[in-house]
Chains A and B, each alone.
Chain A
């Protein structure tokens, strides 16, 4: 019995993905969670995993192919039924009549390279089953064409040896190259494409989701005092940041408010199975992602802090897992030390709520009839009015505030 491995959706704004590597080969046994392929998306290259034990079967697309979400990528054989087709050494079994496309592709590139060095252009090797020669295009042009959704084959190349270069892609799309200083490159994260993705998701959100907004000032003095005392005993790399407390407080408060933790599915609410907080993280140079901190309500603070550091680190180094981009059930966005009082978030579909925290600051506060300086943060909630209302939202925000008065219970 075989199933199909399909192009996974890694976010509501992802429409298609480009296969850049088969990590596993036909015949390989895959355990649940194993990475099977690497997919290029607007947010960079992401490793995608299988969710059941299986044996990799026939690939249905090739490296370089861009296919829509949901398209079959490969066959998966039942793990219990199928014998391993390929020995673990990676040497193709003799009874496999065709080389896999990935192998053919690699061979083709090598021969092309050797031919290039000798000053020749060669056609594609016959019999490998791949249709056409790989189009010569610069990395920058390839990236732009991908972002604009244009096939390279349709573009006339004017670069060295007929390669498609940036200017050709601009000409083909009727755009002009930007002259402003580009940001320094980081990995292969494409900031322009990311900006487009954010634009699409946020436009959809504002177009489709009836937001309501609530704001609540929370006294953080107890929390920050507790944090200071605790951190004093810890080496710098183990210290907790306020952000971890805020995330934990939100995560714990959701237990009584399931209508804020889940997804809109064509107008119907689907509660989430766990609390996976999307942590909005700015990327240096611009752009933003909110990968999931899984089961944040279940994590002890030190573990939560470690996972958060790891997540932020991988946002910057470009090593996010697919599940981290697709799993968040609610988003938390914190302005940290940016010095702004409050933020009103836009919901990241298909989620139904986003919690925002401004910059904590000493403010006058009335306590027991006296005006006293206290460390205050303004928390906000933007929520989907189709699935919750202001009364429930207000109770939720108040609960977050109460939670933060008892930091040792977090």
Chain B
């Protein structure tokens, strides 16, 4: 009964999701810098301009606040915009619109207006793009009530989260880690929408829970392989959705393993990892058999040279070491 599988990259999966959305709903359009003729900074929208034309694959000038705000206005006006902000660093120029408008309009209007907007952006380090193009600021966004924050790591999620996000009546921010775009794998040819809530257990194990998301998922799964070779069974949880967080899945896992390590490419101070650690203390303290461990980025702007960039962000060896530390093995 297995569906027909196709070989596909993460980039193509996102593109297929956008194409499907454009075909399914005439209210959907893609707007952002160089999404059209250029084909997208990360080539995600390559070919869509020719297929759907300039009205629905809308090149915007370099004005992040302007076109993100216009996306919010268009959502208020009845459309279902997908705003692509080239990378998370540029989204800081649109932060006012996202935090002060998208996240608040429903509340400020006493429930009269919803903002059915999807904002996609690339994030993360690993391509030697240096300090202004390597941020992991997902945790900042996840801090803000009124928006939902997604981090698809797998092909299924890259393919399936967009449509669910577009169907959601509230603003959804989707983070696509730059190191995932080239990852390829098998995906069911008829893969479709997936829920945009809840974490997923990507690997089961009883000794330690490794909690991660986005670009760190595959490093964490690799670490779990290494640990398995030494007889340590690590459970790997992919958060998928960074706001709201799926506490139940995390607590259930830690209640089994009694140990947790959080892997988060954000800087440690005030990070999403800090939030999760606090929740484990609040809700699973009496289950813990060791202090919660964290593997986060070093507290430096991400440097340009490869060896320093590698040293700055979580790597498989760091994850293995952190897991061993909480197990004292």
| Chain A residues engaging chain B, CB cutoff 8 angstroms | 138-141, 143, 158-160, 163, 165-167, 179, 181-185, 188, 190
| Contact A159 B286, CB 8 Å, known A140-B258, A185-B255 | no
**Cβ of A138 and Cβ of B288 under 8 Å apart?**
yes
Known A-B contacts: A159-B328, A182-B256. Give 18 more (CB < 8 A).
Answer: A138-B288, A138-B289, A139-B289, A140-B287, A143-B286, A159-B289, A159-B290, A160-B290, A160-B291, A160-B328, A165-B290, A179-B206, A181-B256, A182-B287, A183-B255, A184-B252, A185-B251, A185-B287
Bound-complex Cα distance A182 to B287 (A): 10
Chain A's interface: helix, strand, loop or mixed, by majority? Answer: loop
Which are the 6 A-B pairs with shortest beta-carbon distances? A182-B255, A138-B289, A140-B289, A165-B289, A166-B289, A188-B286
User: Contact at B255–A184, with CB atoms within 8 Å?
Assistant: yes
CB contacts (< 8 Å) of A159 on chain B: these are 289-290, 328
Which residues of chain A are near B328, meaning CB under 8 Å? Answer: 158-160, 165
**In the complex, chain A residues whose CB is within 8 Å of the CB of B286:** 139-140, 143, 185, 188, 190
Q: Across the interface, which residues of A come within 8 angstroms of B258, CB to CB?
A: 138, 140, 166
| Residues of chain B contacted by A182 (CB below 8 angstroms) | 255-256, 287
Question: What are 29 residue pairs bridging A and B, where the CB atoms are less than 8 Å apart in the complex?
Answer: A138-B288, A138-B289, A138-B290, A139-B286, A139-B287, A139-B288, A140-B286, A158-B328, A159-B289, A159-B290, A159-B328, A160-B290, A160-B325, A160-B328, A165-B328, A166-B258, A166-B289, A181-B252, A181-B256, A182-B287, A183-B255, A184-B248, A184-B251, A184-B252, A185-B251, A185-B286, A185-B287, A188-B285, A188-B286
- Give the nearest-CB partner of B326 in chain A: A160
* Interface 1/0 per residue, B292-329 and A, CB below 8 Å: 00000000000000000000000000000000011010
- CB of B284 closer than 8 Å to a CB of A: yes
Residue B283 lies at the interface, judged by CB distance under 8 Å to chain A: yes
Q: B290 — which chain A residues lie within 8 A by C-beta?
A: 138, 159-160, 163, 165
| Complex: A165 Cα to B328 Cα, angstroms | 10
- B325 closest partner in A (C-beta): A160
Instruction: For the complex formed, measure the closest distance between the CB of B275 and the CB atoms of chain A, giving whole angstroms.
Output: 18
Closest Cβ–Cβ distance, residue B46 to chain A (whole Å): 45
Residue of B nearest to A157 (CB): B328
B residues within 8 A CB of A185?
Answer: 251, 255, 283-284, 286-287
Residue of B nearest to A138 (CB): B289
In which size bucket is the chain B interface? Answer: 10 to 19
Q: How many A-B residue pairs have CB under 8 A?
A: 53
Q: Write out the residue numbers on chain B whose beta carbons fall within 8 Å of the beta carbon of A160.
A: 290-291, 325-326, 328
CA of A324 to CA of B291, assembled, Å: 35
- Nearest CB of A to B302, in Å: 27
**A139 and B256 contacting across the interface, CB-CB below 8 Å:** no
Q: Determine the distance from Cα of A163 to Cα of B328 in the docked complex, in whole angstroms.
A: 10
Rounded to whole angstroms, the CA-CA distance of A183 and B248 in the bound complex is 11
A181 to chain B, nearest CB (A): 6
Chain B contacts for A190, CB-based, 8 A:
286
Most A CB atoms within 10 A — which of B258, B289, B326? B289
A182 to B258, CA, bound (A): 10
Chain B residue with the shortest CB-CB distance to A181: B256
CB <8 Å contact, B326 and A140? no
Q: Which B residues are CB-close (under 8 A) to A183?
A: 255
Interface code B222-255, partner A: CB below 8 Å = 1, 0 otherwise?
A: 0000000000000000000000000010011001
Tell me the nearest residue of chain B to A182, going by C-beta: B255
Please, what's the 1-or-0 string for B36-74, where 1 marks a CB less than 8 Å from any CB in chain A?
000000000000000000000000000000000000000
Q: Which chain A positions have C-beta within 8 A of B252?
A: 181, 184
> What's the Cα separation between A183 and B206 when bound, in Å?
14
Q: How far is the CB of A276 from chain B (nearest CB, A)?
A: 30
Least CB distance from B159 to A in Å reads 31
CB-based nearest B residue for A168: B289
Closest to B252 in A: A184
| Chain B residues whose CB sits within 8 angstroms of the CB of A179 once the complex forms | 206
Bound Cα distance A160, B283 (Å)? 22
A118 to B283 CA separation, bound complex (whole angstroms): 28
Chain A residue contacts of B325, Cβ below 8 A: 160
A159 to B251, CA, bound (A): 21
Cβ–Cβ < 8 Å partners of A139 in chain B: 285-289
A188 to B281, CA, bound (A): 11
When distances are taken between beta carbons in the complex, the residues of chain B under 8 Å from A158 are 328
Q: How far is the CB of A74 from the nearest CB of chain B, in Å?
A: 26
Quote the shortest CB–CB distance from A134 to chain B (angstroms).
Answer: 16
B324–chain A nearest beta-carbon distance, Å? 10
CB pair B288 A140 closer than 8 Å: yes
Expressed in whole angstroms, the minimum distance between the Cβ of A263 and any Cβ of chain B is: 33
- In the assembled complex, the Cα of A188 lies from the Cα of B252 at a distance in Å of 15
Q: Which residues of B contact A165 (CB under 8 A)?
A: 289-290, 328
Q: Chain B contacts of A141 at CB under 8 A?
A: 289
- Point out the residues of chain A lying under 8 angstroms from B248, CB to CB: 184
- Chain B residues near A138: list those with CB within 8 A: 258, 288-290
Report the minimum CB–CB distance from A46 to chain B (whole Å). Answer: 15
- A161 closest partner in B (C-beta): B328
Query: Residue on A with the closest CB to B293?
Result: A160
Expressed in whole angstroms, the minimum distance between the Cβ of B252 and any Cβ of chain A is 5
**Which of the listed residues A159, A167, A183, A188 has the most CB atoms from chain B within 10 Å of its own CB?**
A159
Give the docked Cα–Cα distance between A138 and B288 (Å).
6
Q: How far is the CA of A183 from the CA of B284 in the complex (A)?
A: 11
Complex Cα distance A165/B287, Å? 11
Q: A188 to B248, alpha carbons, bound, how many Å?
A: 16
